[in-house]
Amino acid sequence: MNALLDPQIADRLAKLCGIFGSHHAGERAAAAAKADELVRSHRLTWFDLLLPQPIVVKPKKAAKWRKPRTTKAKLAALRESQTDYPGALNEWEREFVISVSRYADSLSEKQERLVDKLIDKLRDHIVGCDR
């Protein structure tokens, strides 16, 4: 259950959490108990409050996406995919795309092959999103 607190309740909870830094153990314990009571009284857990809300990104339709032909276009598509399809590439692949983008005209054969594999991976991801 992911829920947001009413602003007044959230303000009260923030004030209680501010006391967690007190130099007095009794104050810290009382504030923690009150904060926990406040959270539970609203049928929430600390996980509900502290874990980020999932981001839902509506992907582009695969029919609109065409496989780029040039290396520059492929790298541009892979860079754009980072916002349009955030789960398409892993962190290493994203860093690779960023690092070689400025050298698009002089990639090695191995780098070219990897760019092609990443384009295929992106295509497969997009097609999977549209199912």
pLDDT band at residue 6 under the 50/70/90 scheme:
confident
Q: What pLDDT sits at residue 1?
A: 38
Q: What pLDDT sits at residue 92?
A: 92
For the CA atoms of 85, 88, 93, 94, the dihedral, rounded to the nearest 10 degrees, stands at: 10
C-alpha to C-alpha distance for 125 and 62, rounded to whole angstroms: 9
pLDDT band at residue 2 under the 50/70/90 scheme:
very low
* 60 has a pLDDT exceeding 70: no
C-alpha to C-alpha distance for 109 and 71, rounded to whole angstroms: 11
C-alpha to C-alpha distance for 65 and 113, rounded to whole angstroms: 20
Averaged pLDDT of the chain = 83
**How far is the CA of 122 from the CAs of 48, 68, 125, in angstroms?**
33, 11, 5
Kindly list the domain boundaries of the chain, sorted by start residue. 7-50, 62-130
Lookup result for tokens 């406040």: 38
pLDDT tens digits for 75-108? 998 988 877 787 888 989 989 998 998 888 899 9
